[in-house]
Amino acid sequence: MTILITGGSGLVGNAIKNLNYNMEMIFIKSKDYDLTNLNQTKCMFEKYKPLYVIHLAANVGGLYKNMNNKVRILEDNLLINFNVVKCCHDYNVKKLVAYLSTCIYPNDIDYPINENQLHLGPPHFSNEGYSYAKRMLEIHTRKYREEFNDNFICIIPTNIYGEYDNFNLKDSHVIPGLIHKCYLADKNNTDFTIYGDGSPLRQFVYSKDIAELTMKILFNDNIKDNIIISPDEEISIKEVAEKICKIFNFKNKIKFDTTYHNGQHKKTVSNKYLRQHYPDYKFTNLENGLDLTINWFKENYNLIRN
Q: List residues with catalytic annotation.
A: 130
DSSP states of the chain: -EEEEETTTSHHHHHHHTT--SSEEEE--TTT--TTSHHHHHHHHHHH--SEEEE-------HHHHHH-HHHHHHHHHHHHHHHHHHHHHTT-SEEEEE--GGGSBSS--SSB-TT-TTSS-B-GGGHHHHHHHHHHHHHHHHHHHHH---EEEEEE-EEE-TT-B--TTT--HHHHHHHHHHHHHHHT--EEEES-S--EE-EEEHHHHHHHHHHHHT-TT--S-EEE--S--EEHHHHHHHHHHHHT--S-EEEETTS----S---B--HHHHHH-TT--PPPHHHHHHHHHHHHHHTTTTSB-
Q: Which residues contact 137 (CB under 8 A, 6 or more apart)?
A: 77, 81, 85, 98, 100, 154
One-letter identity of residue 113: I
